[in-house]
């Protein structure tokens, strides 16, 4: 029976002839079928994946050299375009819409010979922190099926957590990769804003959105990031910086400088056991010879309001294109007035949370409120950027909690959107500033559920972030 540990170990098995890509794909298809109740997938590309596996097996038999992601089984979040495949953003308004092109990340993955096995469930238009806001219903956490997996990339996280694929891609606008990684006990990376092209990613909030990665180990993340990062002529916001080899082995015994914010570890929303575990980690890092010191972060209670003002404003603009005329859901009611036609399409097509954010975004952009809300939130963002930049002048990393608690029960917070919004308090800093951040599965709570810690690095310092992450996981 096939058992996956890492891309490198998998490739060794393939080259030794101990396993074939077809056998591996069949293994994952059986696992997806057996765990269908988790609702992690929207679509499974079974025939296509098997056909691709056979092609790759034939190439190896013919003696052709394998590429860096040869035969790696990947799942995509249902907001990442894959040509001639459904792309619905887990929304009724895009029901049965098929993409007419592939995202840049998908093209890069396919060039390196991956096998895409399906697309994953998520919160509608990536708006949510529980994966309960989906047209396809909630995703269940494989560690505790009565609990949420986190969101919005919950399906992508569970696909890796439950052994339904090797790697998955999600999107992270305010923590939508790191928080579900934390809840599911896996590794989740949000790279620097602009490190990966957003071409082909369904837009939520364009100045925040990042494509992120899920895996069970850091080396796999590094290997995939080395492939999908880099310039792209279709995305004017992507960085032109050269892509490093993120798989480089870290210098042994290298000592780093960490900062941590007392305000995060002492915040009333943080579970006491999570706080204690992080404080113990701080002591262990000091014992190992690293420099780790407290820093003051006076904006902690302002970042969530600023984030939601800015992202909802951008969302209200981005989602204006979904009107039922050019593509997507169209009402069956007979409507004569064009404005009523638009309103009916959008009212029937969007879910409650998406409508809430569109209305909030329209409000903060409206005449008489723009300066009071949107302009003020932009000012807060600037202050947060300046603060984090000042911290990184003296430190390599910032250590923070990923989430205030472990995974909570399905339905517990669905009627209290503000409580859900506040659960993003430790993740949105990385999106406001564009910094890379990673969630590492280091701990297990007394309630039996996993949780981790979050590390932030300065912009485009993914290499050192991944290297220190490897060290932390090896010593855990």
Catalytic residues: 77, 152, 176
From the CA atom positions of the chain, what is the Rg in Å? Answer: 22
| The 291-295 sheet, strands edge to edge | 41-44, 115-120, 73-77, 167-172, 210-215, 187-190, 437-444, 450-457, 397-401, 257-261, 291-295
Distance CA 178, CA 172 (A): 8
Q: Angle at Cα 278 formed by Cα 272 and Cα 283, nearest 5°?
A: 125
Distance CA 235, CA 197 (A): 6
Cβ contact 364:138 at 8 Å = no
Beta bridge partners of 214: 168, 188
- What separation in angstroms does the CA of 19 have from each of 12, 14, 219? 9, 5, 22
- Segment (H or E) for 311: helix 300-318
What would the two tokens of residue 328 be? Answer: 């997507």
**Residue 367 backbone phi and psi in degrees, to 5:** -60, 130
Distance CA 232, CA 162 (A): 33
**Residue 467 backbone phi and psi in degrees, to 5:** -65, -45
Neighbours of 305 (CB within 10 A): 15
In SS3 terms, 356-373 reads as HHHHHHHHHCCCCCHHHH
DSSP-derived pairing of the beta strands 187-190 and 210-215: antiparallel
DSSP character string of 217-234: SHHHHHHHHHHHBS--TT
DSSP 411: T
The length of the chain is 476
């Amino acid at each position: 029976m096939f058992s996956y540990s890492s891309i490198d170990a998998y490739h060794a098995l393939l080259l030794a002839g101990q396993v074939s890509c077809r056998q591996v794909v069949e293994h994952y298809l059986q696992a997806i079928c057996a765990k269908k109740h988790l609702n992690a997938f929207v679509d499974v590309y079974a025939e296509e994946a098997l056909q691709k596996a056979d092609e790759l097996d034939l190439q190896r038999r013919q003696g052709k050299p394998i590429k860096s992601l040869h035969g790696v089984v990947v799942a995509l979040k249902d907001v990442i375009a894959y040509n001639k495949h459904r792309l619905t953003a887990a929304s009724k308004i895009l029901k049965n819409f098929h993409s007419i092109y592939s995202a840049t990340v998908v093209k890069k993955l396919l060039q390196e010979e991956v096998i895409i096995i399906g697309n994953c469930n998520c919160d509608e238009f990536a708006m949510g922190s529980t994966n309960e806001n989906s047209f396809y219903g909630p995703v269940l956490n494989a560690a505790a099926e009565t609990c949420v997996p986190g969101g919005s990339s919950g399906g992508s996280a569970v696909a890796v957590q439950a052994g339904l694929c090797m790697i998955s891609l999600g999107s992270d606008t305010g923590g939508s990769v790191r928080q579900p990684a934390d809840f599911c006990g896996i590794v989740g990376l949000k790279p620097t804003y602009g490190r990966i092209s957003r071409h082909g990613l369904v837009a939520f909030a364009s100045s925040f959105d990042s494509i992120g990665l899920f895996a069970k180990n850091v080396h796999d993340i590094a290997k995939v990031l080395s492939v999908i990062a880099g310039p792209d002529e279709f995305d004017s916001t992507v960085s032109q910086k050269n892509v490093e080899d993120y798989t480089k082995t870290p210098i042994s015994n290298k000592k780093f400088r960490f900062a941590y914010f007392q305000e995060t570890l002492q915040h009333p929303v943080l579970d006491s056991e999570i706080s204690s575990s992080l404080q113990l980690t701080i002591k262990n890092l000091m014992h190992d010879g690293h420099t780790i010191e407290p820093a003051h972060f006076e904006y902690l209670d302002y970042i969530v309001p600023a984030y939601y003002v800015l992202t909802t404003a951008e969302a209200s603009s981005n989602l204006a294109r979904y009107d039922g005329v050019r593509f997507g859901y169209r009402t069956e009611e007979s409507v004569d007035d064009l404005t009523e036609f638009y309103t009916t399409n959008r009212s029937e097509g969007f879910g409650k949370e998406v409508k809430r954010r569109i209305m909030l975004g329209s409000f903060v952009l409206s005449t008489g409120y723009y300066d009071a809300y949107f302009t003020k939130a932009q000012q807060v963002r600037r202050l947060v950027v300046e603060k984090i930049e000042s911290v990184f002048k003296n430190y390599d990393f910032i250590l923070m909690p990923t989430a205030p608690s472990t995974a909570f029960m399905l339905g517990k917070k669905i009627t209290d959107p503000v409580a859900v919004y506040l659960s993003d308090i430790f993740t949105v800093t990385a999106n406001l500033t564009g910094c890379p951040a990673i969630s590492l599965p280091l701990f297990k709570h007394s309630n039996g559920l996993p949780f981790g810690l979050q590390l932030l690095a300065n912009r485009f310092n993914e290499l050192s972030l991944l290297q220190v992450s490897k060290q932390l996981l090896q010593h855990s």
